[in-house]
Amino acid sequence: LCTNKLSVDHRLLHHLIVHQLLPTGGGYAKLSRMQAFLMWCIISKIEFCYPLLMLHTMVRAFTQKKSVLPFGCILTKIFRHHEVRLEGEIGTKLKKEDTYNKSTLNHMGWKKQDGNWTYCPKSDQGQR
């Protein structure tokens, strides 16, 4: 399934999944089976084992030639909480596009109106 066929709300959910919950390299134009499953679970309010999903994603990343270990921010917080020594590790700052805030949502075409977030496509984009 091509992501441009998704509704606006589902495209936003997909964006959150591929950038935060299930980070993967490569293009985002096609919906993977795992992404579709995760979207279905979230929309249907069905519980899933996120730690197992994280582990599966990290193992898959480790087996690929060009890959970066996903979940760096989450793992760093866990390591610090458990006082794991991280000397010698090189830290990297989050890029602006790796965070979600009002500015990010505005850039994606979402506007807050009367306390609710509403998708407002730019006139040059047209309705998708």
pLDDT, tens digit, 9 for 90 and up, residues 13-47:
998 898 888 887 767 788 889 899 999 999 999 99
Which range marks the domain in which residue 39 is found?
A: 3-92
Same domain for 25 and 78, yes or no, is yes
Closest by Cα among 56, 49, 90, 89 to 71: 56
pTM, two decimals, is 0.67
Q: Is the pLDDT of residue 57 over 80?
A: yes
Same domain for 64 and 52, yes or no, is yes
Same domain for 51 and 76, yes or no, is yes
Rounded Cα–Cα distance for residues 35 and 28 (Å) = 10
Same domain for 81 and 118, yes or no, is no
Q: How many CB atoms lie within 10 A of CB 117?
A: 14
Same domain for 31 and 86, yes or no, is yes
